[in-house]
Amino acid sequence: MKFVLLGPPGAGKGTQAANLSKRYGIPAISTGHIIRQAIEAGTEVGRLAADYIERGQLVPDETVIALVRGRLREPDTQHGYILDGFPRTVAQAEQMEKLGIQVDKVIDIAVEDEVLVERLSGRRECKACGATYHVVYNPPVREGVCDVCGEPLSMRDDDTPDVIRKRLAVYHKQTQPLQAFYRQRGKLYTVNGQEKVEDTTTLVLAAAEE
Ligand code: AP5
């Protein structure tokens, strides 16, 4: 299966991508995580992207598309994949179609803006493997340590209130139109992302199997 996870910043795309990945044995590909790794590594793409991320803006389409194309050439994507955070503009989705990048289902995780600010402020992330936690709603077994790989957890630089507000505005303007784009193609499945993490997981898995 080939999934796209859609939703605003903090909706739970990364959290649910990990669950779908376990369930289907296919990789979860987060463009945000790939870009943050490029920034950490100081690559040319990373240097270009850093400025956009700090301002809560989207990285240019052609840069992100090139990253995704490169990642989808890796052998672990042969039996399917979960795209978390891509496409994020109608232009990216149209380009995907032109390039023959397939999508079976688009699962849209719906959460109100007020809930998202609290979620993102309490988020902790593992820079090494990309696993995501929340200090209250989804804590790691050992405080400050990743359950998956044992590396330390940290806050993301773009999880400050000011940048969160900008990311939400960008989402409504540039990403939300993708709902209509995929609805027209009969691929959109919307789930309520305001339930507890495990209840949202049940809804996401049900949508995936529908
Ligand atoms: P990206 O890393 O994709 O960030 P995002 O879309 O803003 O989404 P988040 O990762 O913030 O949230 P999420 O929905 O994954 O939620 P999570 O599971 O972590 O992108 C970052 C930046 O990279 C972008 O701003 C852009 O600049 C650039 N970029 C990336 N892709 C791009 C593209 N295609 N084109 C251009 N630019 C691109 O959950 C959030 C928190 O809530 C966690 O703490 C979690 O534990 C908790 N939580 C999750 N579910 C629940 C629940 N049900 N109840 C309570 N808490 C919950």
How many whole angstroms from 11 Cα to the centroid of ligand 1?
7
Verify whether ligand 1 is closer than 6 Å to residue 116 (CB atom).
no
Which residue's CA is the closest to the ligand 1 atom numbered 3? 32
Verify whether ligand 1 is closer than 6 Å to residue 27 (CB atom).
no
How many whole angstroms from 95 Cα to the centroid of ligand 1?
22
For the annotated catalytic residues, the residue numbers are 13, 88, 123, 156, 167
Residue 147 has which token pair?
């359950």
How many whole angstroms from 168 Cα to the centroid of ligand 1?
11
* Interatomic CA distance for residues 69 and 183, integer angstroms: 24
DSSP per-residue letters across 18-75 = HHHHHHHT--EEEHHHHHHHHHHHT-HHHHHHHHHHHTTPPPPHHHHHHHHHHHHTSG
Report the pLDDT value the prediction gives residue 130, as an integer from 0 to 100: 87
Render pLDDT for 77-134 as a digit per residue (tens, 0 to 9).
999 999 999 999 999 999 999 999 989 999 999 999 989 998 999 999 999 998 999 9
pTM: 0.94
